[in-house]
Amino acid sequence: MSLQPNEPVPPPRRAGLATLVLHHSVTVIILLLFIGIGVWSYLTFQKTDFFVEVDRDALQARLTPPLIEAQRQRIEMALATSRRLDDRYPASLQELVDRGLLLQSDLYYPSTRELWLYSRGVDSVELTLQLPEGGTASP
């Protein structure tokens, strides 16, 4: 590109410099955001037990009583339903399973062995929880 003697000189291109500054400013802002998020997440996880192994025995000990109570209520509801349908309590808990009022697992959950002793009177029933040591407890 040659210039003629009387032609004006074109102004220098400043748009390239502005684009370069804008590009680097955005890059710096993104990097600062990543560093800020990294520091925040490190400090947040450091305050929690996120990296600590769970004590499964302690967790099971905390969860078992509410689970047993829920199963007791489920069995009592099935007994009450059976009483209303037949005007009598069932001879055994297995009869509730056979009629579809309980699942077989309801007699065992959260354990692997049968948890409940069942005895019926004329107008009453008694559910007794079998303890692992061989004892019993009335809930």
pLDDT tens profile 2-42: 656 677 766 665 567 778 888 899 999 999 999 999 998 88
Q: What is the pTM of this model?
A: 0.53
Q: Is residue 126 part of a domain?
A: yes
What residue numbers bound the domain in which 124 lies?
Answer: 56-137
Q: Is residue 14 one of the residues assigned to a domain?
A: no
Task: Please list the alpha-helical segments (H only) found in 1-139.
Answer: 15-46, 56-86, 93-99
Does any domain span residue 84?
A: yes
Q: CA 66, 67, 69 angle in degrees (round to 5)?
A: 65
C-alpha span between 17 and 23 (Å, rounded)? 10
Residue-level pLDDT at 123: 78
Residue whose token pair is 């748009």 = 15
Question: How many distinct structural domains can be found in the chain?
Answer: 1
